[in-house]
Amino acid sequence: MDSPAMRISPLRPLVVAASLIFGLVAVQAQTRVVPESRAQVQLSFAPIVRQTTGAVVNVYATRSERRQNAAMEEFFRRYFGDGGPSVPPGRSQSSLGSGVIIDPSGLVITNNHVIENMNDVKVALADRREFEADIVLRDSRTDLAVLRIKNPSNLETIELGDSEALQVGDLVLAIGNPFGVGQTVTQGIVSALARTQVGISDYQFFIQTDAAINPGNSGGALIDMSGRLVGINTAIYSRSGGNVGIGFAIPSSMVRVVLNSAKGGSRNVVRPWLGARLQPVDGEIATTLGLERPTGVLVTSIYDKGPASEAGLKRGDAILAVDGQPVDSPDAFGYRFTLKGTQGQTPLTVLRGGKRTDIMVKLMPPPEIPPREPVRIRSRSPLAGATLVNMSPAVAEELQIDISDDGVIVADVEERGVAASLGFQKGDQIVAINGERLASTRDAQREIDRAGGYWEITISRGGRVFTTVVGR
């Protein structure tokens, strides 16, 4: 959602800063009071700012793109002639954002969209030191990424706070590098919690704040009055590109899940798998279930070998809570369920036949059965530049597609490869090639190798099946 603003408006006076007692907060972090004297109104945020700004960094990411190789150009000339898709020249891209150092070893948390598709990352500290950084983990589903500073020394860090303890009205500070002008601190309150339907990531459960967040703040820190990180600023709602007082931050609870995966050596976030499809409970469904209002999520289908099936969940059940925490949408369920990790069990409060009951569900990652056996298509074919993998619960969960018994999945597509130019997308299921159904990536490679100059490819995408023909 970051986009250039038409203009930069002056910040309004920090009147709200006078609405709470900073001195008492420093001593009693959980006490919420209103000011009782003029002296209390005149207190400052400076101690918290000094405590935290050294751990908030600027993130500079770049990427150099190359021309497609000669084989790709030859493919287009051979099968499309001179009127085929053009091959653009190489170019460079760059991105600017913010990040937060959360570990003395040099781990930095930022937004995935800040470093997405980038291959060269640098981190600039508040004291003007600059470091190169490696990308440890990218997670598009939460829009979070973890970097590791190379050869770190004397780094300041911020302690992770508890976003679950936040309340609407709590005072917060946003720290980042808006518009590239340099490190900036703004203040505001928590305007709302558990915001969904924002359209930023798969796990939508955002903290909303009126602290000024602008382009360049992405990946920066949202700080509570104890100087702890309670969120990663990620997006704004704006018609002009500038701040209008509606900003969103990813809660620190989800940040902790991503960090734990990175610290455990994984390049992907490990999440628990339910093995069921869910939909929101609307007013009509709520009436049918005997609920006073729309709440919970409805189970619409169950994978017969997953945790939901083993726990006894049934199609038509309404899940009202995860370990006692109410859920009002599939986004809220996904967030709450992910926080439980992949060990042990967790109770789900289920409404069935007008009665509520707790069902214990096993926490486990989705299995990769069968193994992925990835195949990168390099030969001259419509799928050149695509990576194909075998279907499994892990692949289906990762790409958010329905599980099927056969076919192979497009797990990745080179941005400027032939497959991308012809419209193939990540998550497509390749059902058949030239009439031969595919059960594995080996089948796919065999059919591609013997296709010659003609390809009839059957694809399943979003529940719709269609066939595309390329060649003579």
Q: What is the mean pLDDT of residues 206-224?
A: 87
Region for 241 from its dihedrals, namely left if φ exceeds 0, alpha if ψ lies in -120 to 50, beta otherwise: left
- How many other C-beta atoms lie within 10 A of the C-beta of residue 266? 12
Is residue 304 predicted with pLDDT exceeding 80?
yes
Q: What is the CATH number of the domain that holds 282?
A: 2.30.42.10
Please state, in angstroms and rounded to a whole number, the distance separating the CA atoms of residues 437 and 457: 10
- Lowest mean pLDDT across 8-12, 198-202, 222-226, 368-372: 8-12
407 annotated as belonging to a binding site for a ligand? no
Q: Which domain holds residue 286?
A: 276-362
113 annotated as belonging to a binding site for a ligand? yes
Is residue 6 predicted with pLDDT exceeding 50?
no
Whether 443 is covered by a domain: the verdict is yes
Q: Are residues 126 and 202 in the same domain?
A: yes
Whether 369 is covered by a domain: the verdict is no
- How many other C-beta atoms lie within 10 A of the C-beta of residue 25? 19
Residue 455: predicted pLDDT = 87
Structural domain count of the chain: 3
2 annotated as belonging to a binding site for a ligand? no
Residue 42: predicted pLDDT = 65
Whether 171 is covered by a domain: the verdict is yes
Is 218 considered catalytic here? yes
Residue 20: predicted pLDDT = 37
E strands in 342-407: 345-352, 355-362, 375-376, 386-390
Please identify which of the residues 2, 103, 113, 163 carries the catalytic annotation.
113
Q: What is the mean pLDDT of residues 7-25?
A: 35
Q: Are residues 181 and 253 in the same domain?
A: yes
Q: What is the mean pLDDT of residues 366-376?
A: 92
Q: What is the mean pLDDT of residues 117-133?
A: 90
- pLDDT tens digits, residue range 101-117? 999 999 999 999 898 88
User: Of 205, 225, 420, 439, which Cα lies nearest the Cα of 326?
Assistant: 205
Residue 206: predicted pLDDT = 87
Residue 237: predicted pLDDT = 63
Q: Are residues 401 and 292 in the same domain?
A: no
Q: Of 35-44, 50-59, 176-185, 205-214, where does the model show the most confidence?
A: 50-59
Using the 8-state DSSP alphabet, how is residue 418 labeled? H
Please state, in angstroms and rounded to a whole number, the distance separating the CA atoms of residues 46 and 446: 66
Last residue of a domain, one of 270, 292, 318: 270
Is residue 354 predicted with pLDDT exceeding 70?
yes
Residue 43: predicted pLDDT = 74
Please state, in angstroms and rounded to a whole number, the distance separating the CA atoms of residues 342 and 359: 17
Q: Are residues 183 and 231 in the same domain?
A: yes
User: Do residues 341 and 408 make contact, with C-beta atoms less than 8 angstroms apart?
Assistant: no
Q: Which amino acid is at 402?
A: D
Alpha carbons within 13 angstroms on the beta-carbon side of residue 167 total 5
Is residue 94 predicted with pLDDT exceeding 60?
yes
112 annotated as belonging to a binding site for a ligand? no
Q: Are residues 306 and 166 in the same domain?
A: no
Is residue 160 predicted with pLDDT exceeding 90?
yes
Could you give the angle at the alpha carbon of 410 between the alpha carbons of 336 and 267, nearest 5°?
50
Residue 64: band (very low, low, confident or very high) from pLDDT cuts 50, 70, 90: low
Burial (0-12, 13-18, 19+ Cβ within 10 Å), 399: middle
Higher pLDDT, 44 or 82: 44
Residue 284: predicted pLDDT = 93
Q: Are residues 164 and 144 in the same domain?
A: yes
CA 94 to each of CA 64, 75, 121, 128: distance values in angstroms, whole numbers, following the listed order = 9, 30, 10, 20
Q: Are residues 170 and 296 in the same domain?
A: no
Is residue 5 predicted with pLDDT exceeding 50?
no
Residue 56: band (very low, low, confident or very high) from pLDDT cuts 50, 70, 90: very high
User: Of 124, 143, 252, 236, which Cα lies nearest the Cα of 188?
Assistant: 236
Alpha carbons within 13 angstroms on the beta-carbon side of residue 192 total 11
Residue 87: band (very low, low, confident or very high) from pLDDT cuts 50, 70, 90: very low
Please state, in angstroms and rounded to a whole number, the distance separating the CA atoms of residues 431 and 236: 40
Whether 390 is covered by a domain: the verdict is yes
Q: Are residues 350 and 400 in the same domain?
A: no
Q: What is the mean pLDDT of residues 147-166?
A: 93
Q: Are residues 263 and 286 in the same domain?
A: no
Residue 454: predicted pLDDT = 85
Is residue 408 predicted with pLDDT exceeding 90?
yes
Q: What is the CATH number of the domain that holds 75?
A: 2.40.10.120
Computed over its alpha carbons, how large is the radius of gyration of the chain?
25
Residue 325: predicted pLDDT = 93
Q: What is the residue whose two structure tokens read 């770049």?
A: 62
Residue 337: band (very low, low, confident or very high) from pLDDT cuts 50, 70, 90: very high
Residue 65: predicted pLDDT = 57
Q: Of 284-293, 396-405, 449-458, where does the model show the most confidence?
A: 284-293
Please state, in angstroms and rounded to a whole number, the distance separating the CA atoms of residues 469 and 472: 9
95 annotated as belonging to a binding site for a ligand? no
% of the chain exceeding 90 in pLDDT: 52
Whether 326 is covered by a domain: the verdict is yes
Whether 368 is covered by a domain: the verdict is no
- How many other C-beta atoms lie within 10 A of the C-beta of residue 126? 17
pTM metric for this prediction: 0.76
Q: Are residues 112 and 257 in the same domain?
A: yes
Last residue of a domain, one of 270, 299, 315: 270
Whether 367 is covered by a domain: the verdict is no
- How many other C-beta atoms lie within 10 A of the C-beta of residue 406? 14
Please state, in angstroms and rounded to a whole number, the distance separating the CA atoms of residues 349 and 321: 5
Please identify which of the residues 143, 331, 428, 443 carries the catalytic annotation.
143
Please state, in angstroms and rounded to a whole number, the distance separating the CA atoms of residues 57 and 238: 24
Q: Are residues 149 and 80 in the same domain?
A: yes
Last residue of a domain, one of 231, 254, 270: 270
The overall longest dimension of the chain from CA atoms, in Å, is 84
Q: What is the mean pLDDT of the chain?
A: 82
Q: Are residues 159 and 20 in the same domain?
A: yes
Is 113 considered catalytic here? yes
Please identify which of the residues 98, 163, 201, 218 carries the catalytic annotation.
218
Whether 146 is covered by a domain: the verdict is yes
Residue 212: band (very low, low, confident or very high) from pLDDT cuts 50, 70, 90: confident
Q: What is the mean pLDDT of residues 405-420?
A: 87
- Lowest mean pLDDT across 203-207, 212-216, 284-288, 444-448: 203-207
Is residue 373 predicted with pLDDT exceeding 90?
yes
